[in-house]
Structure 1
Amino acid sequence: MNSNNSQLIIKKAKSKITWTNNTNLIIFAFSTVFYARIVCSTFGVPSIVTQAHFLFIPVVFWIILTTAPTRDVQQIKLVYSLLSGLFLFLLAIVTSAFWNETGFINAVVSFMMLGEPIIFLIAIVSIPMSASSCLRLKKWLMWSALINFVLAAVQKPLIDADKLYAEGFNGTDGCGGVFFVSGAGNYVSASVSFAFALYFFNDKKNPLLIRLAALIAAFWQLLFSDSKQLILAYVVAWILLILLNSQDLSKTIRLIIGLLIFGLIFFWCTQNLEEFSSFTAWARPELYKTDGEAWYAKFYGVRSILDNFKSPLNWLFGLGPGTTVSRLGAWFINDYWSILGPLGATDSSIGKDALRFVGSYWLTYSSSLFSPIFGWAGIWGDLGLFGLGTYLFLAYLVWQNFGLDNSLKITLLSTLVLGFIFTQMEEPGYMLSVSLILGLAWHDQRLNKQRVYLQGHNR
């Protein structure tokens, strides 16, 4: 064997080892987010462990970014594009923190809460993943989604029968799957199941009956966890997708027909099946009049933010990261003050007041649909129009590069819609699950293109 052949074999071996190690790192990083809550609840581990991903994700990101041996020009361009968008968003957060004299740690945590899904997505697409590595990641995601669903399905009857303690939550609010026990665990768990089911259903390599079973199971979880907001989010996302495809007549017609069929079936179910009766609970027109209670409740936080604007520059830079109705400002800083306070964190009364309002007003504690604490208001209130614009630019980059089919587009659009309902865009368990789904779909497309090219080249 000559020296050139020996070097080639060693080089291939090193590349294979790097792929394998980097794939393991992605699995590890995802697991630190996905399984942290259930581990803490089951084994009595301190809750601070649920935030360990804020350390692990950047470390994994850095290792992969500096070791992944990719030479694909398109892959490199995509990574640099996402990094540029992420840098602009970081600049917006730092500028807001500097202008408003909020703590540096506020800026760090705010960036991680909102930017972590992009960091994780960049790590995934930086790897020149082989077909076997991609399949291994898919299997991990599949088993994780199944574990989440089974746990949620088991938790509900156990909690209702007082055989499982859920920190005061009933079977509906407490069935959080792998996110047991947390305040919005049922919504996050159902959201993960639904996003995975759509992705899995669109993968025609799997038998149709199994794909249908996954979709039905996810919808069943949506029902027994009473996650009504998901239906609203996906219906609105579907309508938005119709509008975005309006130039393609055939796609538009198919989407409209699909929406009409779903709408008719769903309406019949709400009128005839008790399991669907809760979906009509808020179908009360008087709530949504111009001066209705729904608008009063929903925009309580927005009014508080505007009342605290002291300068026109507040419109541009907000009131500072973690000072308004973001997840960080509403409860995270307060919950972890013993750690963040000594690090120089600053807080504000706006988020706390909004949280107290949620607990005292009948409409807001009855449904998170009317919560004044929600993603888009939090981003705008904390970071101003500059921060909001850079976050939307990141969303645009993700849409352009990862909205590869209608199922992924609907998931992306529904995530943006959920940002108007609650703090879903700051929930790491859900957002990193979506990032993994998007990254796997992107690698699938890349591998298919390579396969087609090689087949054509070998003819």
Structure 2
Amino acid sequence: MLIKSVSEKRKESYISSTSLVIIALASAFFPRVLMLIKFPSMVNFLHFAIVPFVFGIAISKSRSQNRQQLAASKQILFTLLLLLTIGLASAFLNDVGLINVILQFLLFNEPWMLLLAIICIPMSTRSLNQCRNYVLGFGFINLIFALLQKFILRWDRGLDPCGGLDGVDTITGVFVCQGAGCIVGASVSMALSAHYFVAAKHRPLWLRGLIIFACLVQIRRFAQRFCTIVRVVTWIVMKPYSLDLREKIISTYEAGNTSIRQVAARFQVSKNTVQSLLKRKQATGTLKPAPATGGKTSQLAGFEQEIAEMVEQHQDYTLAEYCESWQEKTGVRVSESTMCRFLQKQQLTVKKNISQRSSRSSG
């Protein structure tokens, strides 16, 4: 009973901390919308108090033993302290008000403080999914607001409530009536669309494509195209799934009582990804991604050792027999030309000439 009680208390603490992070994010996300419906202007400054408070709670409660988590936390915390020190020193030397330095520090570094809070808080799988769903929900609300502003409210045609902005800057999503609101809103939408398209592979392709299209509709204006370029470049250079994630996917499936579809939904990857990882481990015994190379990648890339062993064991095989043997071993069918190019690239030779044996067999 005592163990259960402690476990329940810890669980409640995790959920409470997660809720604090969500509240902090909401305080920075929606104040302009609240002001639009006649909330006092003070609501726009609440996040300057809420975000540091949540940041402090997360730091004080952190008990993580994960090395990667600790390393990332220390790096972000060191950078924040360094920036604050530089700001305070500059204020002292230039006789600038302390409040201005603190506000400027919070304005530019709140995203990093929230990120560090999320990293430090010990979350259960349920709490992590809850936090992810809220963040995605905030992103979808921003996108829906932007589409309403453009097609229903017609803010880009001079009907916006802000008055001081031209048509370029009025499609802002939830960041209403603020300088560069269109850039912030477009950045949030592009981050949402890129993440959803890549991570939500258990969702239909047409739905993920529709989110991409909606975001492109939002960011048509010239000032927002820069955001598109940045996100697309980031998307192109994204790394493959980490080895840690690959191992978790396979270990979850091998533990039993689950299906490939369920594993894919849990880790937000496609079924093909899970199947490919299973085949790779079965064929090579490793889950390490193949090294990136220029041009078209051979179907046999990453299997150099296995091919060499096959050639050593069957030096009198023809190309067709090598392809047949490889298919029996891995379930992957390759053409004779692919096998020939790979053998030549690896400088693998056999005792008997393959082409001569092939001609003798046909004769």
For normalisation by structure 1, the TM-score amounts to 0.50
Residue 15 of structure 2 is matched in structure 1 by: 20
Matches of 2:71 and 2:231 in 1, distance apart? Answer: 31
Whether 1:223 and 2:245 are equivalent positions in the alignment is no
Distance 2:11 2:22 in 1: 17
Deviation of 1:74 (Å): 3.2
SS in 2 for 1:178: coil
Could you tell me how far 1:199 is from its partner in structure 2?
Answer: 1.3
Cα pair 1:79 1:122 within 8 Å, conserved: yes
The residue aligned with 2:40 is 46
The answer for the alignment partner of 2:188 in structure 1 is 192
Deviates more, 1:134-143 or 1:20-29: 134-143
Offset from partner CA, 1:213-256 (integer Å, 9 cap, x none): 21121111111686233245446x45xx9xxxxxxxxxxxx86x
* One-letter amino acid of the counterpart of residue 184, structure 1: A
1:171 is displaced (CA, Å) by 4.3
Larger Rg: 2
Please point out which of 202, 207, 216 is paired with 2:204.
207
Q: Measure how far apart 1:140 and its partner are.
A: 1.2
Partners in 2 of 1:182 and 1:446 — Cα distance?
41
Contact kept in structure 1, 2:191 and 2:231, CA below 8 Å: no
In the alignment, which residue of structure 2 is the partner of 1:370?
Answer: none
Offset at residue 169 of structure 1 (A): 3.0
Structure 2 regions of 5+ residues with no counterpart?
A: 257-363
Residues in 2 aligned to 1:93 and 1:446: alpha-carbon distance in whole angstroms: 38
Aligned counterpart in structure 1 of residue 173 of structure 2, from 165, 173, 177: 177
CA distance in 1, matches of 2:144, 2:20: 26
More helix as a share of residues: 1
How big is the shift at 1:77? 3.2
Cα distance in 1, alignment partners of residues 183 and 39 from structure 2: 23
Tell me by how many angstroms 1:454 deviates: 7.0
Query: Aligned to 2:161, which of 159, 162, 165?
Result: 165
Question: What's the offset of the Cα at 1:198?
Answer: 0.9
Deviations 1:198-223 (A, max 9, x none): 11111033332222221121111111
1:85 pairs with 2:82: no
Whole-Å separation in 1 of the counterparts to 2:104 and 2:246: 37
Secondary structure, aligned partner of 1:223: coil
2:2 match:
7
| 1:173 and 1:225 in contact (8 A); partners too | no
Partner of 2:324: none
Counterparts of 1:409-424 in structure 2 under 5 Å? none
2:126 aligned with 1:129: no
Aligned mates of 2:65, 2:250 — CA distance in 1: 19
Other structure's SS at 2:65 match = coil
Do the aligned residues in 2 keep the contact of 1:187 with 1:225 (CA within 8 Å)? no
Q: Is the contact between residue 131 and residue 447 of structure 1 (CA under 8 Å) also seen in structure 2?
A: no
Report % sequence identity: 28
Pairing partner for 1:64 from 58, 73, 84: 58
- Given the superposition, is the C-alpha separation of residues 77 and 155 from structure 1 closer, same or farther in structure 2, using an over 3 Å criterion? same
Tell whether 2:91 aligns with 1:109.
Answer: no
In the alignment, is the contact (CA less than 8 A) between 1:201 and 1:211 conserved in 2?
A: yes
Q: Distance in 1 between matches of 2:163 and 2:245?
A: 46
Measured in 1, the distance between the counterparts of 2:71 and 2:223 equals: 42
Report the Cα offset of residue 48 of structure 1: 3.3
Q: Which deviates the most, 217-226 or 120-129?
A: 217-226
Deviations 1:99-128 (A, max 9, x none): 222111122122212222221111000122
* Number of equivalences: 254
Partner SS, residue 220 of structure 2 = helix
**What are the superposed Cα offsets for residues 335-366 of structure 1, whole Å, 9 maximum, x if unpaired?**
xxxxxxxxxxxxxxxxxxxxxxxxxxxxxxxx
Task: Find the aligned partners of 1:163 and 1:105 in 2 and give their Cα distance.
Answer: 37
Conservation of the 8 A alpha-carbon contact between 2:189 and 2:215: yes
**Residue 135 of structure 2 aligns to which amino acid in structure 1?**
L
Select the residue among 156, 160, 164 that pairs with 2:150. Answer: 156
Q: CA deviation at 1:26?
A: 0.9
1:19 shift after superposition: 1.1
Change (3 A) 1:117 1:448: farther
Does residue 34 of the first structure (1) align with residue 34 of the second (2)? no
Q: Deviations over 1:276-314 (max 9, x none)?
A: xxxxxxxxxxxxxxxxxxxxxxxxxxxxxxxxxxxxxxx
1:232 to 1:72, Cα distance in 2 relative to 1, 3 A? closer
The DSSP-based 3-state class of the residue aligned with 1:179 is coil
Alignment of structure 1 residues 22-421 onto 2, 5 Å: 22-41=17-36, 43-157=37-151, 158=153, 159=155, 164-203=160-199, 204-223=201-220, 227-234=224-231, 237=233, 405-406=238-239
In structure 1, the gaps of 5 or more residues are 1-5, 242-253, 256-404, 408-440
